[in-house]
């Protein structure tokens, strides 16, 4: 793992540390404010890990069923039908958050993603890459682009070849060798983007237990196409209402809750009751 000071820097959003820390303890809040002031600008990866630690502290204080933010859950890619586009990554793993971020217009069908449609068109329908919705989407997106392209490329053609080859390699690897978690591969990220891609894919869990993808779309799409039955993911955020469901189910004997609750008993984000 590369040193965090090699990663792209950004300034902590004003007031965010204090806002989060107020919900834990005053002593922690003061320490967080001192850290934020002493370390600006803060690399995004460092900010991500700071906030992940803070959510872990807050959740242990607020909930009977806290979760290690770095613990993965096993998800069937076929069961993920939607993604959420408005839950920001830099504020860390393991958040519990109210709001409408899990409802339309903030959630969208995975099948509407140009990348997913493009992968279906190429790998299942046999189209050339340049005839896919994914290529058309990127071409239109960067039609008037001025300046360097993502991932250090100087022009669209070079950038496109990189994206095309990456998906070909990923598809071939999962098809021939099976799905390998990111943690099983050595990474040395030097940018925020590389750091994010070194993580396991990320999901958020909506108020009714819906699993919504939010990062790692390439892996999700290819795993869905190849029929992979289970992959490990991190939970970026849980809805406050879903957290209450987890609390009630984990603290109760199987069969002792209402039918509406019991239907979530086998949800991958519900811990098995102890005893």
Query: What is the residue whose two structure tokens read 């039609």?
Result: 143
CA 145 to chain centroid, in Å, comes to 27
* CA distances, 212 to each of 32, 44, 87, 191, 235 (Å): 30, 23, 11, 26, 10
Give the pLDDT band (50/70/90) at residue 33: low
* The model's pTM: 0.83
- Which of 26-35, 150-159, 234-243 tops mean pLDDT? 234-243
Cα gap 200→139, rounded to integer Å? 28
Q: Within 10 Å of residue 272's Cβ, how many Cβ atoms?
A: 9
Q: What is the pLDDT of residues 48-106, one digit of tens each?
A: 999 999 999 999 999 998 889 999 999 999 999 999 988 999 999 999 999 999 999 99
pLDDT at 34 over 80: no
Which whole number is the average pLDDT over 240-256? 91
Q: Which of 8-12, 183-187, 229-233, 234-238 has the lowest mean pLDDT?
A: 8-12
pLDDT at 23 over 70: no
Give the pLDDT band (50/70/90) at residue 274: low
Give the pLDDT band (50/70/90) at residue 125: very high
What is the predicted pLDDT for the residue at 40?
58
pLDDT at 132 over 60: yes
- Could you write out the DSSP letters of every residue in the chain? ---GGGSPEEPPPTTHHHHHHTTS-HHHHHHHHHHHHHTPSEEHHHHHHHHHHHHHHHHHHH-SS---TT--EEE-GGG--EEESS--STT-SSEEE-SSTTSTTSEEEGGG-HHHHHHIIIIIT---GGGSHHHHHHHHHTTT--SPPGGG-SSHHHHHHHHHHHHHHHHHHHHHH----GGGS-----SHHHHHHHSPPEEEE-TT--EEEEE-HHHHHHHHHHT---EEEEEEEEEHHHHHHHHHHHTS-TT-S-HHHHTTTT-TTSPPPP-
pLDDT at 7 over 50: no
φ, ψ dihedrals at 273, nearest 5° = -60, 145
pLDDT at 111 over 90: yes
Per-chain mean pLDDT for the chain: 86
pLDDT at 218 over 60: yes
């Amino acid at each position: 793992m590369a040193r965090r000071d090699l990663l792209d820097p950004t300034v902590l959003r004003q007031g965010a540390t204090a806002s989060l820390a107020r919900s834990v303890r005053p002593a922690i809040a003061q320490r967080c404010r001192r850290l934020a002031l002493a370390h600006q600008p803060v690399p995004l990866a460092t900010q991500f890990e700071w906030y992940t630690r803070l959510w872990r502290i807050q959740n242990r204080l607020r909930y009977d069923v806290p979760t290690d933010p770095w613990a993965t859950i096993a998800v069937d890619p076929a069961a993920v039908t939607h993604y959420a586009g408005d839950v920001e990554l830099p504020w860390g793993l393991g958040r519990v958050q109210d709001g409408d971020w899990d409802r339309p217009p903030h959630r969208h069908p995975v099948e509407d993603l140009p990348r997913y449609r493009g992968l279906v068109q190429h790998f299942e329908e046999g189209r050339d890459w340049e005839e896919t919705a994914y290529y058309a989407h990127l071409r239109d997106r960067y039609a008037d682009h001025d300046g360097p392209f993502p991932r250090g490329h100087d022009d669209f053609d070079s950038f496109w070849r990189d994206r095309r080859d990456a998906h070909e390699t990923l598809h071939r690897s999962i098809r021939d060798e099976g799905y390998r978690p990111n943690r099983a591969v050595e990474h040395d990220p030097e940018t925020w983007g590389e750091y994010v891609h070194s993580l396991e894919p990320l999901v958020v869990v909506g108020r009714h237990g819906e699993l919504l993808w939010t990062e790692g779309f390439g892996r999700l799409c290819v795993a869905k196409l190849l029929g992979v039955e289970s992959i490990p993911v991190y939970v970026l955020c849980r809805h406050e209402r879903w957290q209450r469901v987890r609390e009630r189910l984990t603290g109760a004997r199987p069969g002792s809750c209402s039918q509406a609750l019991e239907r979530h008993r086998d949800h991958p984000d519900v811990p098995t009751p102890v005893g």
